[in-house]
A and B are shown apart, each in its own frame.
Chain A
Amino acid sequence: DVKVTQSSRYLVKRTGEKVFLECVQDMDHENMFWYRQDPGLGLRLIYFSYDVKMKEKGDIPEGYSVSREKKERFSLILESASTNQTSMYLCASSPPRQEQYFGPGTRLTVT
């Protein structure tokens, strides 16, 4: 079974802190994704990576950056957390042209 793990299920941070969300997949997938999910808005893509050190901005990249130094690991970075970044963050991976496999999500609260 494909496994996508995220470093934390729940996280509470203060405004202005630098926040790291880690995602690891064990199936050697080329593609990895970071989404945020908010009530009524569905899943919105933050960043997409199609190879090591390769990334593309999604719909809502402002306030976020990403890092992919190894194929299995994709990190989402909130440079200076703000309250409007309180959300559920979902990581996913996929082979080329195939379905995505999602992690369990990290519920981030910024106070």
Chain B
Amino acid sequence: LAKTTQPISMDSYEGQEVNITCSHNNIATNDYITWYQQFPSQGPRFIIQGYKTKVTNEVASLFIPADRKSSTLSLPRVSLSDTAVYYCLVGGTYSSASKIIFGSGTRLSIRP
């Protein structure tokens, strides 16, 4: 099982870059890494997904080193609205329930 480990919480300030790291030592060859954002009283929302190296979209970047045993979600120039819980998910093709394992989440607090 590709168990994931994330920091429980992080604090930052508006305008800063925030990096949240997820460790997944037992990641399998066909596993992707996906990050979700969750606000209170809502379901998680997809942010970004990657397999290796670097992926960037309009809201975040995802850095994955060559050994793929960890990944880092990078949020550029955060604002108060980025205060949320962030989850990493390591899994492959969803062909098996045993491959669907969320981390415990990182509670990110952004201050003015």
Residues of A within 8 A of B (CB): 4, 31, 33, 35, 40-45, 47-48, 50, 56-59, 90, 92, 94, 96-97, 99-105
Contacts and interface: CB of A to CB of B under 8 A. Distances in A.
Contacts of A97: 32, 92-94
Of B87, B102, B103, the most chain A CB neighbours within 10 A belong to B102
B97 interface: yes
Interface residues of B, number: 24
Given A4-B43, A105-B42, A42 B102 contact: yes
B29 to A, nearest CB: 14
A78 to B, nearest CB: 19
7 pairs of A and B residues whose beta carbons are closest in the complex: A102-B43, A56-B97, A42-B104, A99-B46, A48-B97, A43-B102, A58-B97
Interface in B30-48: 32, 34, 36, 41-46
Contact of B100 (A33, A90, A101, A104): A33
**Majority secondary structure of chain A interface residues (helix, strand, loop or mixed):** strand
B45 A31 contact: no
Contacts of B81: none
A59 B91 CA distance: 14
24 contacts: A31-B94, A33-B100, A42-B105, A43-B87, A43-B105, A44-B102, A45-B100, A45-B102, A47-B97, A48-B94, A48-B97, A50-B95, A56-B97, A59-B101, A90-B44, A96-B94, A97-B32, A97-B93, A100-B36, A100-B44, A103-B43, A104-B41, A104-B43, A105-B41
